[in-house]
A and B are shown apart, each in its own frame.
Chain A
Amino acid sequence: MSNEALLDILWILLCAGFVFLMQAGFLCLESGVTRSKNSINVAFKNIVDFGLAVLIYWMVSYGLMFGSSAAGWVGTDGFFFRITGEEAPFQYSVFIFQAMFCATGATIISGATAERLPFYVYLLITGIFSILVYPFVGHWVWATDYLGDASGWLAQKGFLDFAGSSVVHSTGGWVSLALILLVGPRLGRFDKEGKAVEIPGSNMPLAMLGTILLIFGWFGFNGGSTLSFGAGVPLILMNTLLGAVGGMTIVLAMIPFTRKLPDPGLVMNGALAGLVGVTANCNLTGPVAAIIIGAVGGLIMMGTVRLLEYLKIDDAVGAIPVHLTPGIWGTLAVALFANAEVMGLESVDRVGMFETQFIGVIVIGFWSFCLPYLFFYLVKKVLPLRVSPEDETAGLNISEHNARTETLFLLEDMEMHARTGDLSKRVRVEPFTEVGQIARQYNKVIDTLDLTMSRLKSIFQDLHDGIITFNSEGSVLSMNPAAGKFYGLEPAIAGGLSAWDLLVPESREDLEVHQPVDHEPFDPFRAGVMQEIHYFRKNSRKDEVVEFVASKGSFNNEVIYTGLIRDVSETVQTKRSKSRLMSKLVGAQQSQFYAGMCKQSVPVLRNLSKRIYDLSLSLPRTIPDPRLKTLENDAQEILHLTDDLRYVESQGSLPVKAVDLAKFLNGFLQKLVSEAKHPEFSETEIKIDLDDTSLHGLIAPSALEQVLEILLLLSCRESGAEKGVLVKLESRYLDQPFSGTEVIPAGEYLTIHLVDEGAGIPEAELDAFFEGRDRKYKDIDLAMAEAMVRHMNGILDVDSTLGDGTTLSIYLPIAREMMDPGEPEEATATVLLVEDHRPVTRLVTGLLHKIGYKVLTAETGEKALAKMKASPVDVVLLDLILAKDLQAREYTFRQIHERFPDIPILVSGGKVDAQVLATVIQEGAAGFLEKPYVPAKILHMVKREALAKKEV
């Protein structure tokens, strides 16, 4: 074999390697400009199409393309290509080179149709391209007979396509177009108005590397197409280089006119379009023509991009703008720019050449577009051509290859959070990876979110006000326990109810809506306006009133309403009670007259009873006479009574002392049963429920005994022997007046409740319940009981529900100063109490002293900050509503939290605005204590935060 022949073989094999490198270029480019969720699929297709195309090419397509021609249309021999003899090295080299071309054409389609095709469909496409499209077109243009004369029908007409602008690039583009039209655009590529939405690539630097590899490979693509190493090669490489430069620079030059920032993808495609443009003609033109052809190719590429967007055709990587239209241009440019001298002609018949080139473009386009379109149109009838929307959304890496990465794990875990809302779980952390770092940070965010949500949930659950959420159609989405309790529903099953049916029911058996006539009709969607809903609860025969305020928000483009329901029945009752109080005051003036008479008669009565008592003692006891004993007891009782009356007269109240009420009640009830003054006391079961409090009450024991006797007699009669009476003792703090039948001022009380299960008392009778004797039991003097309680600085109240029974309540003052043990000598923690209501301050201070905590107090936020600077504090208990602080409710909280972020702050308040509360909790409040305080809850939460602080 001659040196020239060996050099040819070397050159062809070298160029085949260059063209093979274009596969890597396409792989990088297509993976880079598509989304990472499809990157494996795209890259995988680039490898697989190479293998499949080469196999098919060896088996069938090389013979179809370069076999002995049948009338210039198709080759008829050379299948399963093999050869022996001297020519074998050259022929094998040519085969390798041509096979790379086939693979290149096939891989163009993978980019255009990326991110939506099932893998098997892509294999079919590769097969169809490699068997039906590429070898036929290749035969028409490139096949030669034994002597090197053109045997393809197009080439015989003079059609020229040196390295495949049409044969490789346009055919790939046409097949891509056919497929894209059949499968449609990717999800989300065009919005509802049909406007193109840019889908960003996952790795532009990788795409740029791919472009560089493609340009490099193109030297082999064009340079090797001589199939020999001759003097024409340098010019071909020169023109190839200039074509790429022309395409790239024209796109850069167009940037000012597009009024956009440089688009790396467009510039890369400009270079590739220029290369496609010069591919058909680089052996026949000069450098200037190559630059022009490349530049026009770039412009055509830009125009094609716009056209595809206008037609809503989604080419994932721009394969059609790069390969199809510049390929057509390059083929026609042969006629426009071919150099006669280079061609070895006297002159060039450009018109004739253009006609030939144009016919070639049309025929190749028709064959390459229609045949695959028809084939896959039929395939579509029996097999899906694209993946399901779910798979497309998840990404083909997962759906087509089950490719699992740490990114996928993270996404799955995050999806689990989004789907279930269960924030107790954490995402998996893959150490020493970037995704692992993201996962770790995400877990920290979830920690904070979980804490905040727990606090918010706590508020949501514990809030006395009801909260419901509903959508714009009025379907209830959620409700808190308070709302559920008010409406008698389980919050868990409230979802789906109509807000109308819930709030203003028309057919509930237990609840009726009685809106006043002058009220506007209720509308739950009237946001920001307070509306009242008046109910009548049939079971208890009570009027109830709620205030309803809706706020409008949105989540995920869905309008969500949040309704705050506040039970204001007590407020309304307070107003009513005030009017009753006024009537009582009028009655009291009348009573003064009787009091004056009483004042005069008391000394007389006392002297008389003393004399009777003394007389009874002086009588001889030889004759036991029960009447004498009775006389003695009565006289003593009257004596005590008159003493008390005198004390009241002189002091304005009964003589009181601090008494452990629990012990007192136990003793009293034992005595009551043993003495059995009334049969009811022994017939009726009297149950005792004494709150675990060690507080002492300030009472006049003898007077309280008489009061309890009177009231208990009433309760026993009401309940009857079968049902029993409950005597209950509890401590209670009211931060604002409580309006029962009586108005009870804010303060701390020890409360004795006598609960019967009798028939109840009609509401109409409750107003004047303690005036005079009982309506039903005339021997029970309720006025006396009420007067005695009043003279102990207590309050007597009654609450009754028809059918359920009556509760008589005695509110007694607490002997506070005796109960506060004072500041402990060795405090285990220090609590700063920011509170401007002194009774509350006293209560909380006493409670905290009892558990060994030191208490600092401040009435304003400013003072609180000063105290915190002066001495260490473990927990802050902050009343959100400080009368002396004029700033926003959350102002003091923020001041303290910003300066002392490590100190837990428990916020408290009565009717605190839910928005304010949500804000401070989100900003880091440790918890919320709702007023009126429950002592046990204060202690629990303060202890919890103090312990947590110490652990930290």
Chain B
Amino acid sequence: MLWEFLLLDSQPKQLFMKLKLLLLFLISLSSLGAAPSSIDSLGLPEAPENRYQLEQVEQIDREAEVWYSFYTYYTSGEAQVKHGLWIERMRSRDRERHASDFVETRRIYYAGEVSNHSVVSVWINGVLRQRDYILSEDLRVTVKYNEQGQEMRGAKANARGGRAKKERIIRVFDNVYNLTK
């Protein structure tokens, strides 16, 4: 249909006129348009707002499976309201290697509400080998590292733009979750 509209019996001048009409039509459709996929729409983590009188709790128990935990809170009446970073580290079966072989999970609490995003890091032999930046149940960015701690990207990870987008997601998580390698 479009083909016929544009070209059938069209002289150059008529063709330009038809193109103009088409352009106006398309512009009128612009209100129906939307931005392409942006990481904004993913609900990236945001740092919790600063509050006064935040207290922090840090517990270390080498015997326990979750040998390290950390969170911050403020009090509202008698109750503790978690607010800010929340960390749990779960060791492997080898208690002796609890500080070098463990899985760390980080969450953020916003005035007692836990975030739906989290970061899960796996440390083996004291080297960070994998980190999952979890935005939701189905959306996660996984970064793997080799034994020397170098990032293992995989061939597809070198695709143009993709790497940059991942890095920007990671950078947001790293800032909010106060993460380092």
Contacts and interface: CB of A to CB of B under 8 A. Distances in A.
Contacts of B7: 378-379, 382-383
Contact of A78 (B33, B153, B160): B33
A80 B159 contact: no
Nearest to A356: B155
Nearest to A94: B161
A535 B120 CA distance: 121
Interface string B156-173: 111111111111110100
Contacts of A383: 7, 10, 12, 15
Interface residues of A, number: 61
B166 A118 contact: no
Given A144-B162, A156-B156, A383-B10, A59 B30 contact: yes
A348 B10 CA distance: 55
A66 B34 CA distance: 12
Contact of B33 (A8, A77, A85, A145): A77
Contact of A120 (B16, B154, B165): B16
A144 B154 contact: no
Contact of B139 (A66, A80, A146, A230): A146
A120 B12 contact: yes
Contact of B34 (A60, A77, A90, A348): A77
Given A144-B165, A148-B164, A59 B27 contact: yes
B10 A81 contact: no
B150 A344 contact: yes
Contact of B158 (A87, A141, A284, A346): A284
Contact of A87 (B9, B38, B140): B38
Most buried by A among B8, B155, B163: B155
Interface stretch (B39-47, B88-96, B102-110): B39-47
Contacts of A230: 167
Given A118-B12, A144-B159, A5 B168 contact: yes
A4 interface: yes
B36 A75 contact: yes
A608 B40 CA distance: 157
Contact of B160 (A4, A59, A77, A162): A162
Interface in A98-150: 118, 120, 141-142, 144-150
Most buried by B among A78, A145, A344: A344
Say what secondary structure dominates the interface of chain A: loop
A228 B139 contact: no
Contacts of A120: 12, 15-16
B152 interface: yes
Contact of A147 (B34, B156, B169, B175): B169
A135 B92 CA distance: 49
A731 interface: no
B160 A142 contact: yes
Interface in A19-71: 59-60, 62-63, 66-68
A225 B160 contact: yes
B139 A86 contact: no
A700 interface: no
Given A228-B163, A230-B167, 18 more contacts: A63-B33, A77-B34, A79-B33, A80-B26, A83-B40, A142-B160, A144-B162, A145-B37, A146-B38, A147-B169, A148-B162, A148-B166, A150-B162, A343-B158, A344-B150, A344-B154, A346-B146, A346-B152
6 contacts: A77-B36, A78-B36, A156-B156, A227-B164, A382-B10, A383-B10
Interface of A: 2, 4-5, 8, 59-60, 62-63, 66-68, 75, 77-83, 85-87, 90-91, 94, 118, 120, 141-142, 144-150, 155-156, 158, 160-163, 225-228, 230, 283-284, 343-346, 348-349, 353, 378-379, 382-383
A-B residue pairs, 7 tightest by C-beta: A78-B36, A148-B165, A80-B30, A344-B153, A148-B166, A80-B33, A227-B164
